[in-house]
Amino acid sequence: MVTTLVARLAAIVGEKNVLVDEAAKAPFLQDWLGKYRGAAAAVVRPGGTDEVASVLAACREAGISVVPQGGNTSMSGGATPDPAGRAIVLSLTRMNRIRDVDPVGNTMTVDAGVVLAAVQEAAKAAGRFFPLSLGAEGSCTIGGNLATNAGGVAVLRYGTMRELTLGLEVAFADGRVWDGLKALRKDNTGYSLRDLFVGSEGTLGIITGAVLKLFPEPKARATAFVSLRDTSAALSLLARVRERCGDRLTAFEFITGDCLTLVLRHVGDVRLPFTQVPPAAVLVELSDSDDDSALGARLEASLVDAAEAEIILDAAIAQGATQARSFWRLREGISEALVREGRAAKHDVSVPVAQMADFIVAADAAVAAAAPGVRPIMFGHLGDGNLHYNLLKAENTNDADFAAVAPVLTRIVHDETARCRGSISAEHGIGQLRVADMSRYKAPIELELMNALKAVFDPTGLLNPGKLLPDMSNH
């Protein structure tokens, strides 16, 4: 069966775009965190929408599952097939054309496999700005960003991928294709089908193209690295900067001192703008599409005001783009530093900003009671209530003991999140990492409705089984 299918797939995409050799498949079967290792009958690399549709139809006839994959930077194991090895991994990376850039209508139409950084550059070349920005932007693809409704560091001002998208092109398990590539900001002709696929993690259809919103390029930026005592101080600073700077506030990234210590330990070419590691820090950035030379003064006035109110301990305002980049390097180096530091129970939670301090105090206390010595390492997009609340193995604990206690700690963190009416996955999606949690934290009616949608779009459960929703297929 599979041999016949592989031959059919080779006829569709060309023999060299069907990888069966174990070494060739390997990079597609391991997730970025090194937490999951899957297996696949083949990795298929279609070159266009029609080929994707034909591959899907062939797999459906053969009854073989399909795992769509973009840049393979998922933090929830969403793009890694299960170890059984019967699935086909469908990589979108060959579909990397920018189809159209319209600087008047402020839209860009792209293939799903275009890397996010390439979209940012194409927008810049057209004198525009595409605001989605995250640490994996050099590898992640627009299709993956859409499928996970990616967030990143500019959500505060521009929203998540859902708010940055106007139209989609989607291929379905039965081989049909929906051309929803409309460049309209207003279209009220029925249900918003587009929004169903944003965040669907490859379980309803495969996104093959998108129309993205473009924005005026920021002409002025002001960036500061601020040291402070704790999260409460950071939240007070957030309120003040918001009050004074309005929607010029573009990024507000919180980092604990412990997190900064790991970055300084594991990441090269980074330098702290202070003589010693503070208890906590915030990277704050303002931007304006006007050439607003007063922006720096506005940021400085906010920080002076916060210093006088004893909210902050110190602040370094970037004296140009090079220093601003060095501040961002401290922030972007965190994921890499955490992987190098060792085992951690990672959590990507969001709670209402007003409850963030209460959440942290309660979660810290409950974690310390359950596992003394485990180290909370926190950072994240505090401005939009999204905290990466990670728990590092205690120095004197072995990996096996930590692996045994980690699920208990995750349950504690997620229960505290639920108590604050938050979300157990703010931006990384559910993937395979959080599937089991869905039954505990989503209302039965939500699971019923999501399963009903899954049955409509993928009745045989071939698309990305075992991800986002409990596996419906036995493929």
Identify which of residues 54 and 74 has a Cβ nearer to ligand FAD in the complex: 74
Spatial distance between the Cα atoms of 402 and 178, rounded to a whole number of angstroms: 46
C-beta separation of 76 from 438 below 8 A? no
- Type of residue found at 122: A
Q: Does 334 bind ligand MLT (CB under 6 A)?
A: yes
Spatial distance between the Cα atoms of 349 and 332, rounded to a whole number of angstroms: 19
396-435 positions binding ligand FAD, by CB under 6 A: 427-428, 431
Q: Does 383 bind ligand FAD (CB under 6 A)?
A: no
Q: Does 347 bind ligand MLT (CB under 6 A)?
A: no
Residue 393 structure tokens: 């193995």
Instruction: Report the partner that residue 288 touches, choosing among ligand FAD, ligand MLT, none (CB closer than 5 to 8 A by kind).
Output: none
CB of 417 to ligand FAD, least distance (A): 17
- Type of residue found at 252: F
Spatial distance between the Cα atoms of 367 and 361, rounded to a whole number of angstroms: 10
- Type of residue found at 224: A
Identify which of residues 202 and 218 has a Cβ nearer to ligand FAD in the complex: 202
CB of 441 to ligand FAD, least distance (A): 19
CB of 147 to ligand FAD, least distance (A): 3
Q: Interface with ligand FAD by CB under 6 A: which range of 61-69, 307-315, 389-397, 416-424?
A: 61-69
Identify which of residues 43 and 75 has a Cβ nearer to ligand FAD in the complex: 75
Nearest in space to 89 (alpha carbons), one of 57, 115, 59:
59
Residue 18 structure tokens: 């069907």
Q: Does 388 bind ligand MLT (CB under 6 A)?
A: yes
Q: Does 71 bind ligand FAD (CB under 6 A)?
A: yes
Main-chain phi, psi angles of 11, to 5 degrees: -70, -30
Instruction: Report the partner that residue 80 touches, choosing among ligand MLT, ligand FAD, none (CB closer than 5 to 8 A by kind).
Output: none
Spatial distance between the Cα atoms of 350 and 336, rounded to a whole number of angstroms: 22
Please, is 446 exposed, middle or buried when counting C-beta atoms within 10 Å of its C-beta (0-12, 13-18, 19+)?
exposed
Residue linked to tokens 């999501």: 450
Instruction: Report the partner that residue 209 touches, choosing among ligand MLT, ligand FAD, none (CB closer than 5 to 8 A by kind).
Output: none
> Which residue among 143, 209, 218, 383 contacts ligand FAD (CB under 6 A)?
143
Instruction: Report the partner that residue 388 touches, choosing among ligand MLT, ligand FAD, none (CB closer than 5 to 8 A by kind).
Output: ligand MLT
57-86 positions binding ligand MLT, by CB under 6 A: 75
Nearest in space to 334 (alpha carbons), one of 286, 270, 395, 276:
270
Q: Does 335 bind ligand MLT (CB under 6 A)?
A: yes
> Which residue among 14, 135, 175, 257 contacts ligand MLT (CB under 6 A)?
135
Identify which of residues 140 and 281 has a Cβ nearer to ligand FAD in the complex: 140
The CB-side HSE value for 20 (13 A sphere, CA atoms) comes to 11
C-beta separation of 437 from 458 below 8 A? no
CB of 149 to ligand FAD, least distance (A): 8
Residue 446 backbone class (left: φ over 0; alpha: ψ -120 to 50; beta: rest): alpha
C-beta separation of 233 from 307 below 8 A? no
Beta bridge partners of 101: 108
Identify which of residues 133 and 165 has a Cβ nearer to ligand MLT in the complex: 133
> Which residue among 38, 46, 78, 296 contacts ligand FAD (CB under 6 A)?
78
Main-chain phi, psi angles of 317, to 5 degrees: -95, 125
> Which residue among 49, 65, 107, 141 contacts ligand FAD (CB under 6 A)?
141
Contact residues toward ligand MLT (CB under 6 A) are 75, 135, 334-335, 348, 380, 388
Contact residues toward ligand FAD (CB under 6 A) are 32, 67-75, 78-79, 92, 112, 134-136, 140-141, 143-145, 147-148, 150-152, 201-202, 206-207, 335, 427-428, 431, 464, 467
